[in-house]
Structure 1
Amino acid sequence: MTKFNRFNHLKSNSFTQKSAVINTPEQPQSAATLTSLKQLGWNGFFQQQLITEAADYACIARVSAHHRSQYQLLTESGELSLAIHQNMPEMTVGDWVLLDKQHQFVSLLERHSLFSRKAAGSKVEQQLIAANLDWVFIVSSLNDDFNVNRIERYLALVNEAKVTPVIVLTKVDLCDDLSPFITALRELDAKLLIETVNGLDKQSTQALSHYCSEGKTVAFIGSSGVGKSTLVNALLGESSQLTSAIRQDDSKGRHTTTSRSLHLTHSGGLLLDTPGMRELQLADCEEGLNETFADVVEYAKQCRFADCQHLHEPGCAVQVAISNNQLTERRLQSYQKLMREQALNGASIADKRAKDKSLSKMYKRVQSNARVNKRG
């Protein structure tokens, strides 16, 4: 059975085409009007896959939102909704999919980037956040929310996903002195892209507009209350996302975005807002961590022993760098902690996958034996 025929019988995957948006006095004009796949982020990487794609398809679509029971898709012809079925591959906002003439799922195209994390809480599984991004805005406000350790976590995930990070510091109008914040970030990476904005000032947010050029996809991540939704509204020129004030006693925010979704801008780019993530656990991102902590890794290469723990071993270049104020003890401890965390979570997820695969094989074997016994 071909890939096309295999999915063609899944009637529960049927789409419902939504009617075109008509601008009326009761319905405000949207931020932008879709005109082409290029505006949605289509490029040569995905076009090349069509040459080798064996399945028949009639339509190309991009996932614009992920709800509990369905995906929302954007196409050149309009917006579609797709009910989630267990036989479909797991998808996330930003993915590209191929559809047949009946608007049924055919296949998922290979991603050029994937942003994910370990699921919050005690769940032993990986959660997909977004795919096919060009930039990730790591948003932090210039108040008590600013936390270097948390920013390092975000950087590790973004670097693992092979996406360029941009640190966006919000609420600059409420900050009397920027220098301590900038200095702290430059200690992480001297070449780190940093923008400071006031989300309520249109002129201030223009600094972010050039990242949102036609066909480019930008994701916003950060904890609750840092101003992500306010920035989305500012860049779209409309109140497409709810906003709320922070708690004054601890500068912590309230969740205002509850699901991930893509928004078209007037400049042709796409914005992806994500719910605030208070808990951010790492898994299987050693490469991203090594890139984020490139300074620690470089010093470690100069240690006398390959298995140096950077404690009291002779010839430890890392401890020498700390003594010479070229590296901070906090930086080393953060790297070691995150490396242990991602290794432990990664092993747990791999173990669960292996158990699930073994259990699935057992179910199939039992079902097969039952069919044989019934025929006998």
Structure 2
Amino acid sequence: MSYGWEPFFQDQVTLIEEEEPTIGRVVGVRKNSFLVTDGNTEILATVSGKMLHMADGLFPAAGDWVMLYESMITRVLLRKNILSRGASGGRGKLDAAAYKQQVIAANLDTVFIVCGLDQDFNLRRIERYVTLVYNCGAQPVIVLTKADLHDSPAHIVCEVESIVFGVPVHVVSAQESTGIVSLGQYVADGKTIAMLGSSGAGKSTLLNRLAGGEVQRTGAVSSAVGKGRHTTTTRDLIVLPQGGMVIDNPGVREIAFWDSGDGLSDVFPEIERFAQECRFGDCTHLAEPGCRVLDAVATGELQASRLDSYHKMKRELEYQELRHNTSADRAEKERWKDVSLKVKAIKKARRYPARKLL
């Protein structure tokens, strides 16, 4: 089994000047250790002290390929993509946005956005999930679970497809095992999938059906609030009988963005299309005369809720990009300040050389 090993990673190893380095993939993340497999055996590894003190070094996450020295991780290979979000507690106001990145998984082929057809269903949340996945450079697939609890799942599919153009939408009932076969195309040998969704959305139950047995504990959902407990508390990469791998994740309470990218244009293509007909090239679609986007809302061509959601996410992403750039500028200024101090110290040493002892 390849565990998803690709030429992209092999090329990196070829350039590393070490004799036959031990390579493994992170299949489990614990509090202070990582479960790593080389394809045959699993090793409980820790991170080397050098990596802990590398400010710009990669820190292992589920799905990462790493280099090992005995039971110590010495290097993380460059990732082909990374799924991350702002750490919980940062949403609400722009000036209270997340200041810390939470890495969910790395080196993915597909991300299952799991949403239950009960009180968990929310179109605006699905928009945010898809934008998050696109920004991280991964491919989203929407999986609507608990189809047995809804009278007209086909109608819901139409609603979802109308806001996520081109994203595959699958309806499944894990309890009745219907629709599971349609997901087989994503879990082929060597493919890696991550699952995102709120607590009680049915991620662990779906994983158990894909695996053909219970590999993750499941829990009941409160009938009062429609929310479940965090039955999944760790991030583990689980190998399926088909050869594919699934990274299950704890339920997500807040969908805070961290990376800015092209996800917004992918999720709102109709707004981007209308925007090309605006009178002004820098139209913000708020109150400008000749705004084709606002005209589309007035004529019913575009839902007002879609535009509101677009503006909200656009503000968050712009704020994140501004903050990242500010942090980068600050780091660059600190670096040059350090260089300047060293240069001054060298000049001073040359101007006032130490007297030789007689």
TM-score by structure 1 length? 0.81
User: Map of 1:132-147 to 2, 5 A cutoff?
Assistant: 132-147=107-122
Aligned to 1:11: none
The reply on whether 1:119 has 2:90 as its aligned counterpart is no
**What RMSD in Å do the two structures reach over aligned CA positions?**
2.6
The reply on whether 1:94 has 2:57 as its aligned counterpart is no
Asked if structure 2 preserves the Cα contact closer than 8 Å seen for 1:283 and 1:343, the reply is: no
Give me the whole-angstrom Cα distance separating, in 2, the residues matched to 1:355 and 1:257: 38
Aligned residues: 332
Superimposed CA distance per residue, residues 140-172 of structure 1 (whole angstroms, 9 cap, x where no aligned partner): 011121111111111011111222111100000
Q: Percent identity among equivalent residues?
A: 36
Q: Secondary structure at the match of 1:337?
A: helix
The reply on whether 1:67 has 2:30 as its aligned counterpart is yes
Give me the whole-angstrom Cα distance separating, in 2, the residues matched to 1:262 and 1:307: 45
Superimposed CA distance per residue, residues 119-142 of structure 1 (whole angstroms, 9 cap, x where no aligned partner): 111451111111111111100011
Q: Secondary structure at the match of 1:261?
A: strand
The reply on whether 1:82 has 2:57 as its aligned counterpart is no
Asked if structure 2 preserves the Cα contact closer than 8 Å seen for 1:236 and 1:266, the reply is: yes
CA gap of 1:108–1:281, structure 2 versus 1, over 3 A, is same
The reply on whether 1:274 has 2:282 as its aligned counterpart is no
Asked if structure 2 preserves the Cα contact closer than 8 Å seen for 1:118 and 1:345, the reply is: no
CA gap of 1:286–1:161, structure 2 versus 1, over 3 A, is closer
Asked if structure 2 preserves the Cα contact closer than 8 Å seen for 1:255 and 1:276, the reply is: yes
Task: Select which of 161, 169, 194 maps to 1:186.
Answer: 161
Per the TM alignment, residue 226 of structure 1 is displaced from its structure 2 partner at its CA by 0.6
Give me the whole-angstrom Cα distance separating, in 1, the residues matched to 2:331 and 2:28: 28
The reply on whether 1:172 has 2:147 as its aligned counterpart is yes
The reply on whether 1:108 has 2:108 as its aligned counterpart is no
Aligned to 2:188: 213
Asked if structure 1 preserves the Cα contact closer than 8 Å seen for 2:117 and 2:146, the reply is: yes
In terms of mean alpha carbon deviation, does 202-211 or 256-265 score higher? 202-211
User: Map of 1:1-376 to 2, 5 A cutoff?
Assistant: 36=1, 38=2, 40-84=3-47, 85=49, 86-87=52-53, 89-100=58-69, 102-122=70-90, 124-349=99-324, 351=326
Q: Secondary structure at the match of 1:90?
A: coil
User: Which stretches in structure 2 are left out of the alignment for 5+ residues?
Assistant: 91-97, 350-354
Superimposed CA distance per residue, residues 287-341 of structure 1 (whole angstroms, 9 cap, x where no aligned partner): 2222222221222122110121213322211122223332211111111111111
In terms of mean alpha carbon deviation, does 345-354 or 200-209 score higher? 345-354
CA gap of 1:240–1:304, structure 2 versus 1, over 3 A, is same
Q: Secondary structure at the match of 1:327?
A: coil
Q: Which amino acid aligns with 1:97?
A: V
Asked if structure 2 preserves the Cα contact closer than 8 Å seen for 1:284 and 1:343, the reply is: no
Asked if structure 2 preserves the Cα contact closer than 8 Å seen for 1:126 and 1:349, the reply is: no
Q: Secondary structure at the match of 1:286?
A: coil
Q: Which amino acid aligns with 1:178?
A: P
Q: Secondary structure at the match of 2:10?
A: helix
Asked if structure 2 preserves the Cα contact closer than 8 Å seen for 1:124 and 1:349, the reply is: no
Asked if structure 2 preserves the Cα contact closer than 8 Å seen for 1:140 and 1:146, the reply is: yes
CA gap of 1:70–1:175, structure 2 versus 1, over 3 A, is same
Q: Which amino acid aligns with 1:76?
A: G
Asked if structure 2 preserves the Cα contact closer than 8 Å seen for 1:235 and 1:265, the reply is: yes
Give me the whole-angstrom Cα distance separating, in 1, the residues matched to 2:327 and 2:250: 26
Give me the whole-angstrom Cα distance separating, in 1, the residues matched to 2:25 and 2:142: 27
Give me the whole-angstrom Cα distance separating, in 2, the residues matched to 1:239 and 1:324: 51
TM-score by structure 2 length? 0.84
Give me the whole-angstrom Cα distance separating, in 1, the residues matched to 2:232 and 2:305: 32
Give me the whole-angstrom Cα distance separating, in 1, the residues matched to 2:38 and 2:219: 32
Asked if structure 1 preserves the Cα contact closer than 8 Å seen for 2:180 and 2:210, the reply is: yes
Give me the whole-angstrom Cα distance separating, in 2, the residues matched to 1:362 and 1:258: 43
Per the TM alignment, residue 281 of structure 1 is displaced from its structure 2 partner at its CA by 0.7
Give me the whole-angstrom Cα distance separating, in 1, the residues matched to 2:181 and 2:287: 50
CA gap of 1:356–1:238, structure 2 versus 1, over 3 A, is farther
CA gap of 1:80–1:358, structure 2 versus 1, over 3 A, is farther
Q: Secondary structure at the match of 2:179?
A: helix
Per the TM alignment, residue 174 of structure 1 is displaced from its structure 2 partner at its CA by 1.0
Per the TM alignment, residue 348 of structure 1 is displaced from its structure 2 partner at its CA by 3.6
Per the TM alignment, residue 274 of structure 1 is displaced from its structure 2 partner at its CA by 0.5
Q: Secondary structure at the match of 2:262?
A: helix
Per the TM alignment, residue 285 of structure 1 is displaced from its structure 2 partner at its CA by 1.9
CA gap of 1:51–1:302, structure 2 versus 1, over 3 A, is farther
